[in-house]
Amino acid sequence: MTGSPPEVRQKRWYNPLSMNERKKIHRFFLNDPLLGEAARIHGLPDLDIYGQGGPLMTLVEAVISQQLADSAARAIFGRLEAYVGSMLKDPASLSGVPKEKLRELGISGNKADTIITIARMTKSGLLDLDGLAGADDGAVREELIKIRGIGEWTVQMYLIFGLKREDVWPATDLGIRKKLSALLKKRKLMDPDKVEAFGRRWEPYRSYAAIHLWRS
């Protein structure tokens, strides 16, 4: 996985799966020739690896996680969380953290700018993260992609871990490409177009397939 996730449990802004739904999806992967073993070992992944602390925290950590190994991203987010504490959930407080302080915590200048922009837009109402919970994937993407520093990968992480969307397939993710190429015994790294096409076999549960691959 070329990025990492947020933590801390708050109110749920999504509907958790019923036990029957979980069993149905788990059976889907148990019967899959490629991911069946991972499903037997790990069970059905939860989509709240990320995003247990609310929409704002989820988006902030997704930004921090861009192009970083999970361990590095978690360490940086942990420092941010330790510095601001409960204020991290409050856009008014987060927007007041100086860029220089974010840099000291290990956040790059561009990412710091993006985080401050997100906080200020949320504070002003220009960005309604709670409202996006009811929007379709395309509408969420259209809203978030406008923000400088947020690209396709970050939107996909927010859809999977922030909004718990079950059928998101991050075909450009380096970790997914490496794991799938290895699983299929490819000599060369698969390009995103081929990964995208191959992932259709796991519709409508591609988010779970991505987590299985990251964990394998």
Catalytic residue numbers? 173
Q: Which residues contact 122 (CB under 8 A, 6 or more apart)?
A: 56, 91, 95, 128, 129
- Among the listed residues 179, 146, 156, the one whose alpha carbon sits nearest the alpha carbon of residue 5: 156
Q: How far apart are the first and last CA of the chain?
A: 11
The token pair that represents 168 in the structure block: 């998101």
> Residues 6 or more apart from 197 whose CB is under 8 A from it?
none
**Is there a cis peptide before residue 91, judged by omega within 30 degrees of 0?**
no
Instruction: Give the burial class of 185: count Cβ atoms within 10 A of its Cβ; 0-12 exposed, 13-18 middle, 19 or more buried.
Output: exposed
How many whole angstroms separate alpha carbon 162 and alpha carbon 207? 12
Helix (H) / strand (E) element for 163: namely none
| Nearest 10 degrees: Cα torsion 154, 160, 165, 168 | 70
Residue with tokens 């400088």: 148
